[in-house]
Amino acid sequence: MTDLPDTPHQAAAELEALAATIAHHNRLYHTLDAPEIADADYDALVRRNAAIEAAFPDLVRADSPARSVGAAPAGHLAKVAHARAMMSLDNAFADDEVVEFVARVRRFLRLGDDEPVALTAETKIDGLSCSLRYERGLLVQALTRGDGTTGEDVTANVRTIGDIPQRLHGDAPAVFEIRGEIYMAKADFAALNARLLAEAADPAKARRFANPRNAAAGSLRQKDAGVTASRPLRFFAHGWGEATDLPADTQAGVIAAIRDWGLPIADGFTCAAGIDAALAAYRAIEARRADLPFDIDGVVYKVDRLDWQQRLGQVAKAPRWAIAHKFPAERAQTTLNAIDIQVGRTGKLTPVARLEPVTVGGVVVTNATLHNADEIGRLGVRPGDRVVLQRAGDVIPQIVENVSRDDTRAPWPFPTRCPDCGSAAEREPGEVDFRCSGGLICPAQRVERLRHFASRHALDIDGLGITNIESFFRDSLIDAPADIYRLTEAALLARERWATVSARNLIAAIDAKRTPPLDRFLFALGIRHVGEVTARDLARRWRSWDGLMGMIARAIAERDALAPAIGESDDRHLARVAKALAAVVDTKQVGPEVALALVDFFAEPHNRAAVDDLLTEVTPADLVWETRASPVSGKTLVFTGKLETLSRDEAKAQAEALGARVAASVSAKTDMVIAGADAGSKLKKATDLGVAVVTEAEWAQIVADAA
């Protein structure tokens, strides 16, 4: 992993980019069944995000990938809320990470060194997650995972899968949700693609699936259950959701009961007495991986005792009692034919490797990102080089080695001009990315800014995706965000492939976003360094657009008043100005870099003109505070002293689950202190400040009452 960012500004910018990138790939994988990067690339993004968040905990975003699972369901299938959330899993990529996982379990539960932690180990099937709800033994509903909270109803389609019984065998609880993976065996996948090719009128246009996982997902999410019935789908159970009763007190015991009820369990499921046995199970499954009839990408370990699972609970999106141990990536060699440059919404220039087609793990790969100029320099790649690719999952792998490396050659010249508008491409001190300086005159940035404005986390205008935006921009229907609101049904109907219903729906979707929430509107403007969390912090501080603009006007005046001091360097002066502006912005979550970016954006006449024009069509809604129905929701708590019945990690998890914030020290902003045995200076300070103090037993009662 590359070095972590040096400053909070760099960290916040990278976290913003990572959140958007990971959300994009989540939607492609979970909602559209069309991933465009490999599992290894995706895992690297998630691990990078986690490392930066650990180094800069104050910058963790509300839309952090660590807090989300999958992506929101989309399309023709009905959306249904899960009775219990379908969680994701944290990943381990080396033995020592598995050892640390068990060590964390021990610390959380306060186990002695001589107390064993039994684990189950099972294959991690590369399929589509599904939850099967049985009531009185009868299958009544089947849902995809979706975003973990809401899934798609695929009951009719699941009833066509032979592995899934309509009625459970024997006695089952009144309600029991069985969760597992719907997949397609390798041989069945090859036969399906061969059949689709044979049935096609034009073989060149025949639809063929890229891999078994995509084939399974596409087959399950059909409108017509008859199509699903014609596809060879299978199912393996690996867990459960809502249940009125459990047939055992261990993971292995419940899985055995599920198998007895008639659901298939993947071969290789075992119970390991400790870490050595668990890793031995991993090695055994890895050795058989190529010979298995279905795709797997790792082994999942789970704490066997269910009472321990209950105590361990979960973090934002994953249980603390389970982890996926991923297999190493697969590799192949090919030729790098060319390096192209793509320009993003913020002007970032991203190099893309165009590759001689090569099959890596059954998937033909032609493209891979090279990330930035530093990565090109690290690899020493130039067109014509032989490179090594690796993949651990689906489609586009990463370049990990340059076989033709020759450091005596001149490096590939990273462009100093934007390929789209010809403006200078510059790299700011301390940053790795080159950016086009063309701003609003750059076509690539204008299109990307429009796409960002309408995107799901910004204004969320349904039906206004990148294809329509590019088409409208190309034909001069829209050039700036305000133009979106001036589209008419007549203008759409004059275009090819637009009918009355689709035109009316898009205009209605646009009109529905004429009073967007203040934070979404601010985020939608695409101001550099102002991500979703920063926009929300600013909205919470200033509450209204007028309040926000009043602050911006004062900040601009402050900047103009701070003329450079004689003999002071530009960098020092810029830092002084930025610090002064942060004081005007007046929210501790927003640092000098963000304050300077805000002022730079609104001080630019072209930007102000575009925003003023937009405000003739849109009225940002004032922020409305929302609260949760929890006794400590929104309050700041501090735990101090020795807790007798639970670890500090478990106590913090309980508080966060109730919507509270846990601080490390007592201050006037503290709402409650939970004092264990031998509490010292924090308890005294809480008493001096008049902060409410409760005992560990009283805290336990608060938790119980809120359950």
Q: Is residue 428 part of a domain?
A: no
Q: Is residue 691 part of a domain?
A: yes
Predicted pLDDT of residue 429: 54
124 is catalytic: yes
CATH number, residue 697: 3.40.50.10190
Q: Do 178 and 101 share a domain, yes or no?
A: yes
pLDDT at 422 > cutoff 50: yes
Q: Do 556 and 641 share a domain, yes or no?
A: no
Q: Do 453 and 599 share a domain, yes or no?
A: no
Q: Is residue 179 part of a domain?
A: yes
Helix, strand, coil share (%) of the chain residues, nearest 5:
40, 20, 40
Range of the structural domain that residue 497 is part of: 439-511
Closest CA to 570 of 558, 578, 561: 578
Q: Do 213 and 320 share a domain, yes or no?
A: yes
Longest alpha-carbon distance in the chain: 87
Q: Do 274 and 128 share a domain, yes or no?
A: yes
pLDDT at 299 > cutoff 60: yes
Q: Is residue 434 part of a domain?
A: no
Last residue of a domain, one of 452, 476, 511: 511
CATH number, residue 24: 1.10.287.610
Contacts of 396 (CB under 8 A, 6+ apart): 36, 37, 38, 41, 365, 367, 368, 369
Q: Do 311 and 275 share a domain, yes or no?
A: yes
Q: Is residue 628 part of a domain?
A: no
Task: Name the domain count of the chain.
Answer: 6
Last residue of a domain, one of 16, 36, 67: 67
The one catalytic residue in 79, 124, 223, 317 is 124
Q: Do 151 and 33 share a domain, yes or no?
A: no
Q: Is residue 500 part of a domain?
A: yes
Q: What is the per-residue pLDDT across 64-121, written as a single tens digit (0 to 9) for each?
A: 776 555 444 445 678 899 999 898 899 998 999 999 999 999 999 999 888 899 999 9
CATH number, residue 461: 1.10.150.20
Q: Do 644 and 579 share a domain, yes or no?
A: no
Q: Is residue 572 part of a domain?
A: yes
Predicted pLDDT of residue 523: 92
Q: Is residue 418 part of a domain?
A: no
Predicted pLDDT of residue 1: 44
Q: Do 224 and 171 share a domain, yes or no?
A: yes
pLDDT at 569 > cutoff 60: no
Burial pattern 157-166, b for ≥16 Cβ within 10 A else e, equals bbebbebbbe
**Residue 447's pLDDT band (boundaries 50, 70, 90)?**
confident
* DSSP string for 508-539: HHHHTTSS-BHHHHHHHTT-TT--HHHHHHHH
Q: Do 461 and 374 share a domain, yes or no?
A: no
- In 229-284, at which residue ranges do the beta strands (DSSP E only) sit? 234-243, 270-272
Q: Do 290 and 243 share a domain, yes or no?
A: yes
Q: Give percent of the chain with pLDDT exceeding 70.
A: 89
pTM: 0.52
pLDDT at 448 > cutoff 50: yes
CATH number, residue 372: 2.40.50.140
Last residue of a domain, one of 464, 485, 511: 511
Q: Do 156 and 300 share a domain, yes or no?
A: yes
